[in-house]
Amino acid sequence: MQWIDLIADISTVAAALAVIVTTVFVWRQVGLQRTDVDTEVRRLQRESLATIHEALQDEKFRDARAEFFAGPHQRAYDDLSDVEKRRARFILAVYTLLARMVESGAIDEGLYRDYWRGTLLRDWARLENFVAGERLGTRNHGLFTGTERLAESWSKADA
């Protein structure tokens, strides 16, 4: 009987050790996966930051802003030429990219709000009539809503 009790005790200890080893292994794997996810998130944020920075500093974006806001933005939607409408759409597309990246958390909103807030709010105020015309013309009232939400959010941030 003593041998059976001894074997049972050894089996219990071995089972307990197996549970402990398995727990440590699982804990380590979860930690490695968390590290991999954190690394991927940081990589996405770096790439997103570079992408939006390049888009906002791009010469085509700056030229489109300079040309559209030199006067065409003051005209009625129907009086704009196709080239002027394309410029406005391009400006809005870049701001929509910024808005989507902020909404998804791919870039730090505070950083961009501090740097681009005044420009975005001024540009949005100048583009609102164009956006209204685009929405009516396409019957798509969801156009540029990301940019609109971002402008509303940033205007309330200081209120």
Q: What pLDDT sits at residue 26?
A: 66
Whether 13 is covered by a domain: the verdict is no
Residues 34-65 have pLDDT tens digits of: 666 567 767 777 787 788 888 889 999 999 99
Q: Which residues make Cβ contacts (< 8 Å) with residue 88, sequence separation at least 6?
A: 64, 68, 72, 73, 80, 127, 130
Instruction: Work out the burial of residue 101: count CB atoms within 10 Å of its CB; fewer than 13 is exposed, 13-18 middle, 19 or more buried.
Output: buried
Whether 105 is covered by a domain: the verdict is yes
Percent of the chain with pLDDT over 90: 53
Residues 1-30 have pLDDT tens digits of: 677 766 766 777 676 666 676 666 667 766
Whether 138 is covered by a domain: the verdict is yes
Whether 23 is covered by a domain: the verdict is no
Residues 118-144 have pLDDT tens digits of: 999 999 999 999 999 999 999 999 999
pTM to 2 decimal places: 0.73
Q: What pLDDT sits at residue 31?
A: 66
Residue with tokens 């420009």: 119
For residue 113 the two structure tokens come to: 């709000």
DSSP string across 87-131: HHHHHHHHHHHHHHHHHHTSS-HHHHHHHHHHHHHHHHHHHHHHH
Domain span including residue 117 = 45-157
pLDDT at 81 over 90: yes
Whether 16 is covered by a domain: the verdict is no
Query: Cα–Cα distance between 122 and 82 in angstroms, integer?
Result: 23
Query: Cα–Cα distance between 104 and 15 in angstroms, integer?
Result: 46
Across residues 74-85, what is the average pLDDT?
A: 94
What is Dmax (Cα atoms) for the chain?
Answer: 102
Of 97, 87, 89, nearest in space to 52 by CA: 97
Structural domains in the chain (count): 1
Residues 90-104 have pLDDT tens digits of: 999 999 999 998 998
Phi-psi region of 71 (alpha: psi -120 to 50; beta: other; left: phi over 0): left
Q: Which of the 8 DSSP states describes residue 75?
A: S
User: What confidence category does residue 68 fall into, taking pLDDT thresholds of 50, 70 and 90?
Assistant: very high
